């Protein structure tokens, strides 16, 4: 009888009992189709198949096909896709890949004559994950957090508030991803292209600092309700304590939004993306320019003062 017995797997060591090597750090990208269940059931299979094909096309067109070719622990989620990759590529995944993905989805919608409109939420994260080539690689807290970010309130609200004919991609970055790649200057996008938000998920114990990025903004994306209640409360606290005020004024018929930032900037803009930033305490930089979303996702900034940034 013993010849038929299979050896039991080695028991996993209890945490905090001994030191072990960290798993390798991996970048993680996860995408999810908006309103997937809203499509007729007959279209679900075609959409599930199209998502990885469109992702691959975007990686190739962005000039980073290696990320797709060398993907780790890939998995289809039915209405989305997730995989790990060498985190050294993360700056390029943020830009130009997200911008290119916006272009690819725009073309997909045009060629499908509007019959199938595919809009994606994207989450990006970095963290240690098992990656030895085994069946259960890629499981761990960073992977879980990536999916929580994808399901979080701000990125869902951002995509829902935008124009479905223009904005096809809304991305959310974990704070670790943002700090390592954007704030440190490795990504070809200025930090002002990103919006800090509290990422919360209804019904889940999840609350993390995160950053939104929309390659082709449209609609009422400056509505402060999109950012989450806690952000609004924090901004009220800063206003009461003194400091700097940001005011986002929308066009006629739209709400005006006032909020504060940490570094003394006055931010004014419209729902179409026109925006100017000035330091009302004096001695700061003045930033003027337009962030106007088109179907190609072009954004531009002109900076005057101590810093200069050409149009992108």
Confirm if 150 and 30 have CB atoms less than 8 A apart. Answer: yes
Hey, is 28 helix, strand or coil?
strand
23-62 pLDDT, tens per residue?
Answer: 999 999 999 998 765 566 766 777 888 899 999 999 999 9
- Which pLDDT belongs to residue 197? 94
Give whole-number Cα distances, 165 to 112, 122, 290, in Å: 13, 18, 20
Nearest-angstrom CA–CA distance, 184 and 97: 19
Top-level class of domain 25-233: alpha beta
Task: List the domain boundaries for the chain.
Answer: 25-233
In a 3-state reduction of DSSP, which class is residue 207? strand
Mean pLDDT for the stretch of residues 242-270: 38
3-state secondary structure of 15: coil
Q: How many CA atoms lie within 13 A of 74 on its CB side?
A: 12
Find residue 210's DSSP bridge partners.
174, 197
pLDDT confidence band for 113 (50 / 70 / 90): low
Structure-block tokens of residue 12: 């996993």
Q: 231-257 burial, b if ≥16 CB within 10 A, otherwise e?
A: beebbeebeeeebbbbebebeeeeeeb
Q: How confident is the model at residue 280 (pLDDT cuts 50, 70, 90)?
A: very low
In whole angstroms, give the CA distance from residue 31 to residue 162: 18
Looking at residue 284, its pLDDT comes to: 37
Give the closest residue to 287 by CA, choosing from 298, 306, 302, 300: 302
CB 257 within 8 A of CB 223: yes
Q: Are 22 and 137 in contact (CB under 8 A)?
A: no
Higher per-residue pLDDT: 80 or 266 = 80
Q: What is the pLDDT of residue 200?
A: 94
Tokens describing residue 162: 């935008």
Residues in the chain: 312
- The C-alpha atoms of residue 160 and residue 164 are separated, in whole angstroms, by 8
| Listed residue (117, 156, 132) closest to 38, CA to CA | 117
Residue 154's closest CA among 223, 205, 95, 101? Answer: 223
pLDDT at residue number 299: 37
What tens digit of pLDDT does each residue of 127-183 get? 999 999 888 899 999 999 999 999 999 999 999 999 998 999 999 999 999 999 999
């Amino acid at each position: 009888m013993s010849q038929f017995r299979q050896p039991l797997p080695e028991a996993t060591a209890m945490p905090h009992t001994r030191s072990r090597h960290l798993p390798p750090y991996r970048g993680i990208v996860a995408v999810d189709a908006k309103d997937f269940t809203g499509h007729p059931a007959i279209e679900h299979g075609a959409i599930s198949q199209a998502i990885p094909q469109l992702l691959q096309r975007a990686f190739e067109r962005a000039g980073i096909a290696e990320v797709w070719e060398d993907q780790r622990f890939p998995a289809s989620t039915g209405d989305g896709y997730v995989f790990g990759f060498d985190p050294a590529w993360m700056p390029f995944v943020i830009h130009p890949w997200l911008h290119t993905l916006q272009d690819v989805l725009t073309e997909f919608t045009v060629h499908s004559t509007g019959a199938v409109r595919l809009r994606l939420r994207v989450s990006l994260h970095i963290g240690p994950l098992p990656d030895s080539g085994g069946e259960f690689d890629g499981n761990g807290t960073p992977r879980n957090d990536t999916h929580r970010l994808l399901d979080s309130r701000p990125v869902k609200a951002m995509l829902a508030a935008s124009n479905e004919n223009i904005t096809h991609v809304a991305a959310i970055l974990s704070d670790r991803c943002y700090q390592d790649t954007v704030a440190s200057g490795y990504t070809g996008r200025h930090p002002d292209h990103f919006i800090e938000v509290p990422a919360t998920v209804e019904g889940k114990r999840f609350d993390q600092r995160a950053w939104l990025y929309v390659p082709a903004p449209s609609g009422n994306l400056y509505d402060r309700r999109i950012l989450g209640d806690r952000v609004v409360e924090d901004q009220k606290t800063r206003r009461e304590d003194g400091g700097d005020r940001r005011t986002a004024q929308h066009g006629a018929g739209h709400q005006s939004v006032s909020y504060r930032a940490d570094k003394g900037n006055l931010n004014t803009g419209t729902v179409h993306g026109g925006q100017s930033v000035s330091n009302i305490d004096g001695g700061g930089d003045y930033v003027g320019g337009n962030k106007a979303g088109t179907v190609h996702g072009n954004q531009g900034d002109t900076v005057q003062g101590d810093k200069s940034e050409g149009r992108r």
